[in-house]
Amino acid sequence: LSCISWSSKGVPNGGMAQFQEEMRQQLETSMHAELEKLLDTATGVDKEVSKKDFDGFKKLFHRFLQVEGPSVDWPKIHRPPEDSIQPYDKIAALPLPDSLADSLNKLVVVKLNGGLGTSMGCKGPKSLISVRNENTFLDLTVQQIEHLNKKYNTDVPLVLMNSFNTDEDTKKILQKYTHHRVKIHTFNQSRYPRINKESLLPVATDIGMTGENADVWYPPGHGDIYASFYNSGLLDQLITEGKEYIFVSNIDNLGATVDLNILHHLVSQPNGKRCEFIMEVTDKTRADVKGGTLIQYDNKLRLLEIAQVPKAHVDEFKSVTKFKIFNTNNLWISLGAIKRLQEQNAMDMEIIVNPKTLDGGQNVIQLETAVGAAIKSFDNALGINVPRSRFLPVKTVSDLLLVMSNLYSLEAGSLTMSQKREFPTTPHVKLGSSFTKVQEYQTRFESIPDMLELDHLTVSGDVTFGKQVSLKGTVIIIANHGDRIDIPAGTILENKIVSGNLRILDH
């Protein structure tokens, strides 16, 4: 067991396995008793929801206790067969039918909306951060789907998977889309108890989420989508409405728009060979070495994450030559297959053990799963190697600078690389700690610089940018501690290193 040091003192030879099994059963019994105590503090609807959540948590905890050592046997890992990862160009070369509306009416767009904007210094849901022309991630998503529905006269709904952290704020905002041509549904991820690392029992003392209990609950990763979607009743409702596939992606990936070529490929397969799961992958660069990759394992396509790799093979996993692609987390999944696998209890996802330290210094673990890890449970799963433009995540303020710049043009909620840029790759941007929070970042740019000819930008220290600055080639700006650099309005910096102290005084 990963978190327990088994002591074999006094255990007779050959009795170790039995001793471990007894320990597991003891831990599981104690966990179930603690969960019952927590449920006793709940009432009404809260109790019903928590009971469903705890049922899922018990299954996860049971599997966690069974796992010993890494979840993959390294010699059994093989490269996926050629035909299991199709190049996007091959799929895009097939002619699209006149009746695209028929395919679109079978589709539901699902956005993973459980995350907060804390890493960018914002309170509330990350999806409500402005990313382009005052539009938030959520605004852009709604615009994209509304454009599709108007253009093809279809009814593609948007579903948001919220967490208990984002649900209330998101629902308030949704009122502003009442008159848009998009039906919007929401459902909530489960709420699981964080586990004391030493005792392997819940830290929570009651079902509440305030005071002492503010940080003892967590949403268990996006792999929870299958159970939560099913439990919410929304899955059945959409199937009844004639929907067949969901397109799932992270709401902060601005490249994850509905792709008509992939959708057509899905719905045009003969019934017996119908693909139940497509994972969009793209070529690795040095920046993506930690991303999950597709492998062939026990004759099935499987997602391999860095957390599952034995320490001795981590460098091999990060190699761009052996594992050439990584998972974008843009997934196309059959609704009927999700329902079948949920009802058969056959959804198999590896457990991610995520260690955390609470504000009071207590060490806890949270058990999570990843949505893409279920690929091996679905029939006829496929990878599609898509262009890099389908993966445009905004995780940091450096990413935000790129998408706000003239590198991209915005049309109907979709960002596309400007045709004026000579290279299809995005510049490498590293903004220092003075830019970490969105509010600080906004005060440091009077306007976003022209970056069409930029390759690399590093900014460190107390630096501000005037209006209409142009950055080209490699630009490095470093203000040492105690110094400040103001880049004057209209400056053109091309292959320059700027350091020291440069104050532009007001006249």
Q: Which residues carry out catalysis?
A: 395
- Whole-Å CA distances, 271 to 57, 242, 274, 341, 360: 35, 16, 5, 18, 55
Binding positions for UTP are: 126, 189, 221, 252, 395
Q: Hey, which residues does 107 pair with through a beta bridge?
A: 245
Contact between 347 and 38 under an 8 Å Cβ cutoff? The reply is no
Distance between CA atoms of residues 437 and 133, nearest Å: 18
Burial environment of residue 495 by CB neighbours within 10 A (0 to 12, 13 to 18, 19 or more): exposed
The amino acid occupying position 88 is: Y
Burial class (CB in 10 A: 0-12, 13-18, 19+), 344: exposed
Say how far apart CA 160 and CA 166 lie, in whole Å.
10
Residues forming beta bridges with residue 253, ordered by sequence position:
393
Asked if 372 and 331 count as a contact pair (C-beta separation under 8 A), the reply is yes
Q: How far apart are CA 110 and CA 248, in angstroms?
A: 5
Helices (H), 437-482: 438-444
Residue of 300, 233, 275, 280 lying closest to 85 (CA atoms) = 280
Q: What residues pair up with 85 in beta bridges, in sequence order?
A: 383
DSSP H/E element including 34:
helix 16-40
Residue positions forming the annotated binding site: 126, 189, 221-222, 252, 395
Element (H, E) at 493: strand 492-499
CB atoms within 10 A of CB 83: 7
Round to whole Å and give the CA distance between 255 and 69: 36
The H or E element spanning position 441 is helix 438-444
| Residue indicated by tokens 């490249």 | 255
